[in-house]
Structure 1
């Protein structure tokens, strides 16, 4: 439609329909599934999602893109939401029902999108989305990797993640300066929070703030206050700990963040 992408919205329009189809097929569909597409832009994914037996809503922050979508899909006027996804209450979009999230996400807010989904994990069992490749790999990376960090631990405490495929810059208009990657996050079964989630997040962020140091140094004040004596785990660096290790630390270092 000749629409020029806006840098302020981090827009890069996907032009390869095969890749768009691969993204759409990344979700696990059941009849009547509730799906929220984030940042639909000109509707490349939307077109294919509309062919599924699902309940689809679109959240788009760019008013001009909302106008494009309303013109293209006039019957979806009640399902096209002009709003900032990072401020959206996901528990209200489908009246508290479960929903899956999909999108060719704006790269400038992609990490924030993950944290928003984590906040509403109870209603979001699955996410499939395009990210800058570096961010995608960080989200799904495992312990021992240099890419493993805060977002890896916080996401994987709730979701199992996998990198589905990589995407080159030339399939976008305008092409980004980086490669992209599509990931799927699937909510883990039987999640129980028998630990302080606020403290968990605090410990993870504190540990990775100095990722080259051993935990006995980074978490020294908390360790001393809790009189924690597990020397083996404290001799490790943050990227060497699994999600379960961080949960173990949380349970042993107190009940509230400092």
Structure 2
């Protein structure tokens, strides 16, 4: 069998070096895109949460853990002009830098419009129309709640997002029952019904994204029931919001998700108990 000439070997090596260099360049570009998206996403999440007597807020966030995915999950909590607290959590379609940027638009839009009207249904309707006017092809699911710290009244509107989980100090817990509406950015002129809940002493509400409760290893129903159990245990034990948030995000590891995961817990002190 004739042996390859040295020239053929040199050409093959040169070709391999070229392919290796191209692969390295693509990998570096993809990594830089992910790093940029992650930095953009984290930079858009709130640095501080409202500090209100007897009301405790806690958040946890876990980025996507698979490949080059980076999503558009967000949480937010801020004080409204009338002293009540606005709470939002949501998830943007897609897993790329565009999704992270669109998440920033949604969150900023909610905050800006909440200064005009904090009524959850009207706020989601206005945000929906604003996003449609921007002409972006992406959409977002979202839950917005308005909490009155004095009375414990929670007004909630939901745009295609998974429901909240609640628990009370007397051992009751469950999944919030509300009608909801379609995701933001799809249908102009959409109305979002408002449901009222009550945050009682020692009680908790858990807002979360689907990366916490749904994945290859667990159905949405199973994931929500897992959070219901955790919330019920935490409320009966008198644990504070940060302990429940940590337990919920830890439980998200069981779903085998490839998505971001965000948790926002609202708790209310019971003066007759200690955590």
**Same fold (TM > 0.5):** no
Q: TM-score, normalised by structure 2?
A: 0.27
**Taking CA–CA contacts closer than 8 Å with sequence separation of 6 or more, which of the two structures ends up with the larger relative contact order?**
2
